[in-house]
Amino acid sequence: MPVITINGPIGCGSVTVGQMVSHDLDISFVDRLVFTQAARMVGSPVGVLIDKEQRVVRFRDRLGRFVQTMLERSAVAGVSGEPYFGRGIETLPPETFAELSGERPSTSEVDDKVFLEATTRVVHDLYNNGDVVIIGRGANVILANTPGVVHVGLLAPTVMRVETMMQREHLDRDEAEVYVRELDEAWATYFRKFFKTSPTDPARYHMMLNMEKLTAKTAAAAIVHACGDLES
């Protein structure tokens, strides 16, 4: 029951290689389905979970959050009880106006602990079922000390990944460079925040493959070969 995790930065070919391995070994392939199942567990839209992995928190976001927190604190303490702004917490509903009107359910953030627990459970369920290639989502850390798993890290130079994203997403070069840079940053932040490690730490993998030097087919063949060690 081979279980393989493949982790790499955006545009390095994780999905292509993962699908080839899945095909060659005749086992399942799971990519974003990890988060869609975790979202089902926590009862939130999957975008809230994807945001935790891919969202780049910029300074203006942090500033906005800081201001919001200060307003909420002052409201709770009743210090915003000015004549023009009302007197306290009832003037600051936590929901948006659309939510208050019942137009749509709340999409407020999922607690980090709940998110991590749900993601961990989905990955462990996949492991227990066996015969699966899991793409990203920190599965290599979640299953770090689990027997019968091959952890594969992929890497590729930024310029090559920018070219890939230009073709795949129909972006111009400047847009693709920004896209790759922001997702790289979010990827590192995700691993640092939830797993206290770096996604590029070679100690986290059985093998790291440089996709600048290998075709996807060769990389897949190497991974399939490595899985033979699990069975011997």
- The site for other proteins (CB under 8 A) is made up of 15, 19, 22, 26-33, 36-37, 39-40, 43-47, 50, 103-105, 107, 125-126, 129, 131, 169-170
Q: Reduced to 3 states, what is the DSSP secondary structure of residue 140? A: helix
Sign of the CA dihedral running 154, 158, 164, 165? positive
| Nearer CB in complex with other proteins: 7/80 | 7
Contacts of 218 (CB under 8 A, 6+ apart): none
Measured from the CB atom, the residue of 41 and 188 that comes closer to other proteins is 41
Smaller CB separation from other proteins, 111 or 169: 169
The CB-of-162 to other proteins minimum distance in angstroms stands at: 18
Instruction: Give the nearest distance from C-beta 33 to other proteins in angstroms.
Output: 3
d(CA 156, CA 159): 8
**How far apart (Å, rounded) are the C-alpha atoms in residues 128 and 122?**
10
Crossing angle of helices 46-54 and 173-195, rounded to 10°: 100
Minimum CB–partner distance for residue 169 and other proteins (Å):
8
Cβ neighbours of 143 (radius 10 Å): 20
Distance between CA atoms of 144 and 126, rounded to whole angstroms?
A: 14
Q: Which is nearer to other proteins, 61 or 125 (CB)?
A: 125
The CA-based angle 27-31-36, given to 5 degrees, is: 120
Cβ 219 to other proteins, closest distance in Å? 18
135: helix, strand or coil: strand
Q: Which is nearer to other proteins, 75 or 133 (CB)?
A: 133
Let me know: does 152 contact 220? Beta carbons within 8 Å. no
Residue 195 Cβ, how far from other proteins at the closest point, in Å? Answer: 22
Minimum CB–partner distance for residue 131 and other proteins (Å):
7
User: Which of 127, 188, 138, 119 is CA-nearest to residue 4?
Assistant: 127
Q: Which is nearer to other proteins, 80 or 140 (CB)?
A: 140
